[in-house]
Amino acid sequence: MRRFLMFMALLILTLLVGKSASAHSANVWASPVESNFDSFSRLYLPHGLGSFDERPTRHRSTRRSRDFPREVGGEVEFRLRDRDYERVYINGTFTAWDDLEMERKGRVWQIRIPLERGRHRYTFVIETGRETRTRTDPSNPNRTRGPRRRWVSEIRVDRDGDVRTPHDDFDFDLDLVESVLVDFQRVDGFSLGLRSAFQANQEYSPSVKGSLEYGFESERWSGELSLRQPVTAEGDVRVRATVYDKTDFTNQTGVGDWENLISSWIVREDNRDYYQREGISLGVAVDPRRDVSALVEYRVDDYTSLEREVRGGWFGDADQRLNPPVDEGTMRSLVVAGRFGSELRHFAFDFEYSDPSFASSAYDFTVLTAQYRTRFRLGRHQHVDVRLKMGGNLNGTLPVQRQFQVGGLGTVRGYGYQSLLVPADDGSVVAGRGGQRMALANVEYAFGIDDDLQFIVLFDSGTAWQDDDAGMDVSDFESSAGVGVQFGEYDGLRIDFIKAFDGRDILVQARLNRPF
């Protein structure tokens, strides 16, 4: 308890110093963590202190276009001239880089958004029917570097609410306390930490992110430091290097950070299995278009098992699950991953190769996972979501931390966590172990009267096989179906009632994230 109070006092002092140093800036630039086809087990809470702006550079002056953002009735109006676009969206620091759809009025797309005083960065997303692309505001000549090193437009709202071009372009942004990290799970207990970020605004300039947090039950520190160096002017090709020593997990269920924190703390159900991961990675990330991204990366990781340190929670009588051991050792592997399409409609794959003859790795496996996801819109408030996912080990034996887990949230939802596994030919099933192969199908039909309330009919089917030579017999599949209600179109409170086909009791599940 004394360590906790001392850490809290230090955190509050750091936040107060940061707020005092950054009082000149009311806007937060908090870019999302770059997707690296890896799992990060932390909850990011922007603290609202603002960024530390440094050395000024030259200002690009120009005569203001009539479509330049302007103040209208206490809000900022953004405008984009139509070129036969089907849809136009805006995203930026004021939307956490989520897309907001704009409205077409005549030959202009526009939207009004209330903005606080300070600097704001944004881009337009344009759908033409043939492609979806991102562009800066043609009426605003002020550009700077944004998330994933892309060019973004920038404006400044002054104390009177007027919209202006920034009088200074800064060489870099430094957020010493970009966000506060909060987590609770059964191996570290309650953990608290900070994330910092550095981003330069010029072409070919690097960006650096780092995090450090402390688990009060395990008395263990976790840290990570990553560097992104663009090799093209647009930043769509980047060399990336990361070093880390942290509590990590393999996320196969899609359970969100908020969901797992609440579930672990309140009802003693931790939906993740953890291990200590210490190592370094070096690779190249490419995303030439908004809907295309790829990664090639070499990793050297030391894996260590972690013990359960937390038994209880606020409610319930049962102890937290034991944290299963992993296959310990040094893994040297080559990872190739890619995604083609949007978040709701895409094909994605993840390939990893590790072999004793390849840089003296202690593991021998070749694993490939592929996923197809799509959405069929049947009307303004009706759609069908479909996901098909398959994975298998092509050579050797998957270590525990790479084995496939099926059953529970995000997979076949009418069954318990990791409960679906077809045993090997000898009939043996080791508790806490997964399969060498898996197949999964999910279908959901959603309909509602508006975007804030939807009713859902769902169906899941799939399993995992412990024997990598076993055929994928459809008779091995386990299935479940159910109904649910969701408050909000995407992420929001959702309650499902799900029944497994084998006759077991109905399960009631609450979610805060989209299930797949």
Report the half-sphere exposure of 23 (CA within 13 A, side-chain side): 4
| Whole-number Å distance between alpha carbons of 148 and 126 | 18
Whether the predicted pLDDT of 63 surpasses 60: no
Contacts of 6 (CB under 8 A, 6+ apart): none
Question: Does the reported pTM lie above 0.85?
Answer: no
**C-alpha distances in angstroms, 468 versus 110, 333, 365, 417, 437?**
55, 20, 11, 21, 6
Please tell me what DSSP assigns to residue 200. Answer: E
> Which residue is associated with the tokens 């759908």?
127
State pLDDT tens for residues 255-272: 888 889 988 888 888 989
State pLDDT tens for residues 394-445: 999 999 999 999 999 999 999 988 899 998 876 555 544 789 999 999 999 9
Burial of 512 (0-12, 13-18, 19+ CB in 10 A): middle
State pLDDT tens for residues 373-389: 999 988 878 999 999 99
Are 84 and 118 in contact by the 8 Å Cβ rule? The answer is no
Higher pLDDT, 96 or 4: 96
Sign of CA dihedral 120, 71, 123, 142: negative
> Which residue is associated with the tokens 């050579």?
395
407: left (phi over 0), alpha (psi -120 to 50) or beta: left
| Whole-number Å distance between alpha carbons of 151 and 277 | 34
SS3 per residue for 317-362 = CCCCCCCCCCCCEEEEEEEEEEEEECCCCEEEEEEEEECCCCCCCC
Report residue 490's pLDDT band, with 50, 70 and 90 as the boundaries: low
Mean pLDDT (the chain, rounded):
82
Whether the predicted pLDDT of 175 surpasses 60: yes
Whether the predicted pLDDT of 16 surpasses 50: no
> What number of residues does the chain have?
516
Sign of CA dihedral 306, 310, 315, 318: positive
